[in-house]
Structures are given as structure tokens and as C-alpha cells.
Structure 1
Amino acid sequence: MLLAIAGVTAKVKVDFYGEALCPYCAKFLTETAAPLFAEGFAPYMDFRYVAYGNAKNTSDGLECQHGPEECLENRALLCAIGDATNQTDWFPFALCLSENHTPEAIGLCTHAAKLDGEAIHKCMNGDLGSELVRSAAKETAGLDPPHTYVPWIVVNGVAIEVLVYI
């Protein structure tokens, strides 16, 4: 899955714009992205997850489409992605979180993915977590064309339509 342009080989860039409690995003992670990782395609792609989705900044603060728990899990995802060395480190966390939505899910998934839970919680509760959310909001708002639903997938700079049925 390498892209060859004029003799230069580059990774395929896949940007996934989603949100933690979206069932369609979970389906994309488990049925599309996970098999790519499992089949060994990770070295050939630069897979990014921008966990913001359909959240909105209001006068009352950040409102996520599926409620406050989604805002918390989105922040956890952004912190885990920011803390991880590479996509194969954070992807198991994202996959675990897409399958577990309990109060203990963040800790469970941090442990299962062998990530630094203390660093992720410090990020979530601090300025870094807030900055990561602002950055995700800005990037999501700057999509061209603008996203109209999630999951919103951009491959090598081109938005593609993903039909996901549950």
C-alpha cells in the first residue's frame, strides 16, 4: 500500500476524524482499520485519529454529540495519541476504547495497550489535554470539504465517502 510518485515511495496518509462514542466510528475502527493493522499494513500507512468529531464549543463549554463521557474519552484518545511513540502504540488503546464504555474503560484500555496511564491522566486533567482538544477542534473545523458526518476519512488529502451500516 505504498504510494509511488516519480520514483519516490511514500506512506499512504489516512486521517480518521471521529469521536469516542460514535457507533459508526467504532465500526470503522474494528472492521476497517483493525484488520489493516492485524494484516501488517501499519508500516505502509500514516494513520491518524483526530478525536473531536461533531463536538461544538458553546458558551457553556465543549459539548460532545454523545455527552460528557464522550468528551472525556476523546480527550483520553488525544492524550494517548500524543503520548505514544507511534501509531502501533496508541492504536490498541483506541480499539479497546471503541469496544469498552464503562467508567473504568480509560484505565482498562491504558493498561491493555501498555501505555503510561499516569502520563495520560496528567494530560487529560491539565493544560496539554486542553491544547490537544483545541488543536483537534481547529483541524476538524478546517477540513475542506467540511465534514458532514463521522467517521470522516481523508486519504492522501482527499475526503472519501465511508458507508458504515450497523
Structure 2
Amino acid sequence: MSTFANSVQPVVVNAYTEALCIDCQHFFNNQLYETFHKLGPEVMDLNIVPFGNARLDEISQTVTCQHGDGECDANSWEQCAVEHAIPRVYMEFFNCLEHALPMGHADDAFPDSVFLGCAAITDDLDDADLQRCHDNPMMWWQLQQKYAKATPEHDYVPWVLVNGKKIDEENDNLLEVICREFQAGGGSAVACDSYSSSSESS
């Protein structure tokens, strides 16, 4: 966790993702998870939106996902986690799923035990609340509508905005991008020291 000297607004990071997506997994494992743990919520106001390239049919109230019904169901579990926990908590749940779920197409939903098992090892995430959220058809549809509306036009996933500005998820260093935004707003964090203007001039 970072320490900081200035009471400034954290940098808003919106990550638009979907389950079973190998590129999303790569970004999560190699950048997002580590960066969040280094910076913490004082520096990084993280919002994960698990919907991605899914499509809603408002008439039939159904969802079609790029990676099949397995993705749609996994997205629903992830949405429920976001609804019921703060980023510090749901990031651990997501981290578990990134290792528990196979990436790629899945015609069928994965067993509930996969998701409840990840919830069980995640501190402060109530697996019963998660199950109720997932199993409630009305709640399910409301969340699909909510996350579809929250997902902007995009060319691919993961689609990541830092203070509203698109970054290159494959080539940009997320930690550096966030640190420079935080410093530009007057913030100071130990994890960002290597990106400070003073360190560059030394």
C-alpha cells in the first residue's frame, strides 16, 4: 500500500473487461492487479466494468457474449462482486477467477462452486450475498442493463480509461500513467517516486 503526502483526488481508472478473455487476463495479471496493490485506493479510484463485447436483447431480455454462455454467466458473478464489495475486496475475487477459469469460448456456465470457492477465500466478500445476487433473475437483468449502459463504445477489450483518457493497454505502463496523473494533480506517493520530476533530473 502506498503512502502519500498530499490530500488530492485519486486518479479514476475505468477498466472495461469481460470474463474468459485472454487479453483481459493478461492485462489483469501483468498490470492492473499489481498496480492497484502498489497504489491503493488513495491514489487509484478503480472501477471494473465486466460486460465487454456482450450484446443485450431488450425484447427477450437475453444477453449474447463473445465467448459463449460461460462468459455471460461469469460476467454476472463478477458484476455481483463489484456490486457487493469495494475494489480492495473484489480484486481478490477477480484474481482467483483469473486462475480458476479457462480462457476462451465456453458454451455452458461453469459450476457455481468455482465462483463460490473464490468468494470463500476472499476476505469480506459474502458468498451467500453473491449467490443471491447471481440467482435472482430480476437482479440479473438489471445488472446487465446497468453494465451495458456503463460500457462505452470500444474497439476491443480490455478498454481502459485513466481520468477519462484512453491508454494503450499493451504498451503503456499503467503504474507510470497513473503516477504521472496523480503527480500532475499535486499528489505524492511512495510507489510513484521513480516517476517524479526530481528523479528524472537526478
Q: Same fold (TM over 0.5)?
A: yes
- Cα-to-partner distance string for 1:77-120 (whole Å, 9 max, x where unaligned): 11011111x21011100111112115332011111213111111
RMSD of aligned C-alpha atoms?
A: 2.1
Structure 2 gap segments, 5+ residues each: 102-109, 172-202
The verdict on how the C-alpha distance between 1:131 and 1:92 changes in structure 2, with shifts beyond 3 A counting, is same
Partner Cα distance (1:97, 1:32) in 2: 16
CA positional deviation for 1:39: 2.4
CA positional deviation for 1:8: 7.1
Counterpart amino acid of 2:20? L
1:124 aligns with 2:134: yes
CA positional deviation for 1:55: 0.5
Q: Which residue of 2 aligns with 1:4?
A: none
Partner Cα distance (2:96, 2:28) in 1: 10
CA positional deviation for 1:139: 1.4
Larger Rg: 2
User: Sequence identity of aligned pairs in percent?
Assistant: 31
Runs of 4+ in 1 over 6 A off after TM superposition: none
CA positional deviation for 1:30: 0.9
Partner Cα distance (2:47, 2:14) in 1: 5
TM-score, reference length from structure 1: 0.85
* Alignment of structure 1 residues 7-46 onto 2, 5 Å: 9-46=8-45
**Secondary structure at 2:56 match in 1:** strand
Structure 1 gap segments, 5+ residues each: 2-6
- Cα-to-partner distance string for 1:4-55 (whole Å, 9 max, x where unaligned): xxx9721010000000110110111111011113324343111111000000
* Alignment of structure 1 residues 4-83 onto 2, 5 Å: 9-58=8-57, 61-83=62-84
TM-score, reference length from structure 2: 0.70
